[in-house]
Amino acid sequence: MKTKTFLALALTAAISVAAGTASADSKKGAKLFKKKCGVCHSMDAGKHKVGPSLAGIIGRKAGSTSFKKYKALKGANFKWTEDKLDGWITNPKEFIGKPTAMTAKIKKAADRDNIIDFLKDQ
């Protein structure tokens, strides 16, 4: 019984690892978002938390919402693309070259891909 459970778990883990490397997955991204970003960000337009709402973030001008506490992104002059988001969530401070209250750093490229996939679907 225990061995069977273990094998089933191992198989599930192996399958999810394989799926993770194959392509970005917005369902996984949704979970990661909840865990790593949701404390500070809402996906509802105009609803700001510690950070600005991320509704329609792809193609949106950086620092352009009604959020009052932009720091590093205040007056930014670029639009969010998948590449830029990847750089930002890898290391916000390094990406923007200024101190910021956004402290999240996502080390694994596959995790970043999944999060960005989720953001694209919103």
8-37 mask for ligand HEC (x: CB under 6 A)?
Answer: ----------------------------xx
| Closest distance to ligand HEC from the beta carbon of 101 (Å) | 4
Report the nearest approach of ligand HEC to the CB of residue 14 (Å): 26
Nearer to ligand HEC, 6 or 61 (CB): 61
Encoded tokens for 69: 């506490």
Residue that is written with structure tokens 């960005």 in the block: 116
Residue whose C-alpha is closest to residue 57's, from 36, 71, 37? 37
User: Does 115 participate in binding ligand HEC (rule CB under 6 A)?
Assistant: yes
Gap between the Cα atoms of 7 and 18, Å rounded: 16
